[in-house]
């Protein structure tokens, strides 16, 4: 099954201040001039780049005060009580800590979106090497 053509009409790149953390830039893009997608991270894994789509942390409520906390938290952000530990996972697996809120549903769409974002990232990274570079966009 092939995906329908996606018209990516705008890509904005903001280079990370500390690219040594793995995240080298942040991106947003617009589809057909009517749908904006923000909070895409461009991540370096060795010499390969990939786009991490927007995600939100998985939370659970404190049994005492019912405040939301990340599932990996040891103590409640609301009342400070110790939170129950996560159940063990099978050997070699980790708990998922985030869940996707927007993502391509097939490989062709992911490749199309990544190609547009990474092409613009490479242009911005090249421009950043010139003296007097001024970023075109900033994080809002």
Structure tokens at 33: 């001039």
Residues 6+ apart with CB under 8 A from 63: 83, 84
Structure tokens at 9: 């009409």
Instruction: Give the pLDDT confidence score for residue 137 in this predicted structure.
Output: 78
Q: Name the CATH superfamily housing domain 1-54+102-140.
A: Stage V sporulation protein G (3.30.1120.40)
pLDDT tens per residue across span 74-132: 999 999 999 998 888 887 777 788 888 888 889 999 999 999 999 999 999 999 988 98
Can you give the residue ranges of every domain in the chain?
1-54+102-140, 57-87+95-100
Instruction: Give the pLDDT confidence score for residue 114 in this predicted structure.
Output: 95
Instruction: Give the pLDDT confidence score for residue 19 in this predicted structure.
Output: 67
Instruction: Give the pLDDT confidence score for residue 81 in this predicted structure.
Output: 95
> Of 106, 14, 97, 19, which is closest to residue 55 (Cα–Cα)?
97
Q: What's the CA gap between 13 and 25, in Å, rounded? A: 7
Q: What's the CA gap between 70 and 16, in Å, rounded? A: 24
């Amino acid at each position: 099954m092939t995906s329908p053509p996606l018209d990516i009409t705008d890509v904005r790149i903001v280079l990370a201040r500390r690219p040594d953390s793995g995240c080298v830039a942040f991106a947003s893009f617009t589809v057909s001039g009517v749908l904006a997608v923000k909070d895409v991270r461009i991540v370096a894994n060795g010499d390969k780049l990939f786009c991490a789509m927007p995600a939100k942390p998985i939370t659970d409520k404190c049994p005492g005060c019912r405040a939301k906390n990340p599932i990996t938290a040891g103590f409640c952000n609301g009342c400070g009580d110790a939170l129950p530990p996560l159940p063990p996972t099978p050997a070699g697996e980790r708990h998922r800590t985030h869940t996707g809120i927007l993502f391509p549903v097939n490989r062709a769409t992911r490749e199309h979106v990544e190609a547009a974002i990474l092409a613009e990232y490479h242009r911005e990274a090249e421009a950043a090497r010139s003296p007097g570079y001024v970023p075109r966009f900033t994080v809002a």
